[in-house]
Amino acid sequence: MDTSQLLKGVLDLAVLAVLRNEDGYGYDVLRRLRGGGMEEVGDASVYGTLRRLYRAGCLTSYVVPSDEGPHRKYYGLNESGRARLVESEDAWRAFAGTLDDILKGAAA
């Protein structure tokens, strides 16, 4: 099925999560998401999400020159981003658990 609508709601959380341990530039983030199984995430959606989280004050950014092409802008979590990640993660787990229960109840 088309999971793009489901994806939309959790992309913020997913982007914050893949930046938890290591900063990354846009394509890094995209690769980590797809590598983690989010095959359907759109390229531009990831970049839009990064910019939105940055504007919301959750991310820091810095530019690293590259010898092999255009320089790259890295994004990383700041304190606010980490707090948001914890918050969102809790909310997601609670939500997923609830939905899981509902699905189980309906199946039973």
Partner 1 sequence: MARVRRDVGRHSEGGGRVNGETEIHPGLDDYLARVRAALADLPAEELAEVLEDIEPHVTEVFGEPGDPVDRLGSPEDYAAELRAAGGYPPVEGPPPVSEHHGRGRFVFWAIGLTALAFFLAAFATRGRTEPLILILLCLPVYGPALWLVLAGRVNRTDLTELPEYRRGKRMGDSAVALLQPEAIAYLRSLRPAWGLARLIVLAVLFLVALDRGPGLAVFTLIVAGGLVWLAGRVKTNRRLLAITLPANAFVIGAALGLVIGATDLGRGGPVYVNQGYVGGGLTYGGRPLSNVYAVGADGRPIEEFYLYDETGTPITVDYDSCTRIDRSTFRNRFPLPRVTYVNGACEMRTDMPFVPLPPGGGSSSPTVSTTASPTVSGSVPPTASTPPSASVTAPPTAPVTPTK
Tell me: does residue 106 bind partner 1 (CB under 8 A).
no
Given 3-state DSSP classes, what are the helix, strand and coil percentages for the chain, each rounded to the nearest 5? 60, 15, 25
Q: Which of 25, 76, 82, 89 binds partner 1 (CB under 8 A)?
A: 25
- Distance of closest approach, residue 21 Cβ to partner 1, in angstroms: 16
How far apart, in whole angstroms, are the C-alpha atoms of residue 29 and residue 81? 15
Strand order in the sheet with 59-64: 24-25, 72-77, 59-64
How far apart, in whole angstroms, are the C-alpha atoms of residue 57 and residue 12? 13
Q: Which of 31, 79, 95, 103 binds partner 1 (CB under 8 A)?
A: 31
Q: Which of 23, 45, 60, 78 binds partner 1 (CB under 8 A)?
A: 45
| Residues near partner 1 (CB under 8 A) | 2-4, 7-8, 11, 25-27, 30-31, 34-35, 39-40, 42-52, 54-55, 63, 66, 68-73
